[in-house]
């Protein structure tokens, strides 16, 4: 299944500059903790479950299959593009530039991690991996 990482024309007004992640995923929780410890600039992050009703339908449909970044203008990025944007916003511009330059590879690696996230990190996901 192909999961879109961009949502043209979709804007979210409820929150801005926030990383949304699967609150039922131990790997996601550990990744967000790592990000908080290593960010040069603090990043706001919260479980996506708390905002599902605020998201446009096209975004909500993939919200548990990838991280989402909502930027200052309300634009939504998902998956590897969200990771790149979060790294840039957190002060890791060099790393973000590398991931962006290698976008096809970055997307493939991100999707590989998503498929196997139930086996990664300190706690397994409560959700089955996406089909």
Domains in the chain and their CATH numbers? 10-119 (3.40.30)
Q: Which pLDDT score is estimated for 24?
A: 87
Q: Which pLDDT score is estimated for 63?
A: 93
Q: Does the pLDDT of residue 118 top 80, yes or no?
A: no
CA 101 – CA 71 distance, rounded (Å): 20
82 CB-near residues (< 8 Å, 6+ apart): 5, 19, 66, 67, 68, 69
Burial class (CB in 10 A: 0-12, 13-18, 19+), 99: buried
Res. 123 pLDDT band, cuts 50 70 90: low
Region for residue 51 given its phi and psi (left: phi exceeds 0; alpha: psi -120 to 50; beta: otherwise): alpha
* 90-111: average pLDDT: 96
**CB burial string 39-57: b at 16+ within 10 A, e below:** beeebebebbeebeeebee
CA 106 – CA 100 distance, rounded (Å): 8
Q: Does the pLDDT of residue 9 top 70, yes or no?
A: yes
């Amino acid at each position: 299944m192909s999961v879109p990482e961009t949502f043209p024309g979709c804007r979210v007004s409820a929150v801005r500059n926030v990383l949304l992640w699967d609150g039922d995923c131990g790997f996601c929780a550990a990744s967000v903790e790592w990000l908080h410890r290593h960010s040069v600039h603090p990043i706001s992050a919260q479980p996506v479950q708390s905002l599902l009703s605020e998201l446009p339908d096209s975004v909500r449909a993939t919200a548990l299959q990838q991280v989402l970044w909502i930027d200052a203008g309300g634009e939504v990025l998902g998956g590897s593009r969200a990771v790149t944007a979060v790294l840039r916003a957190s002060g890791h511009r060099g790393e973000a530039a590398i991931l962006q330059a290698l976008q096809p590879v970055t997307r493939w690696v991100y999707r590989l991690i998503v498929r196997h996230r139930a086996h990664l990190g300190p706690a397994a996901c409560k959700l089955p991996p996406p089909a």
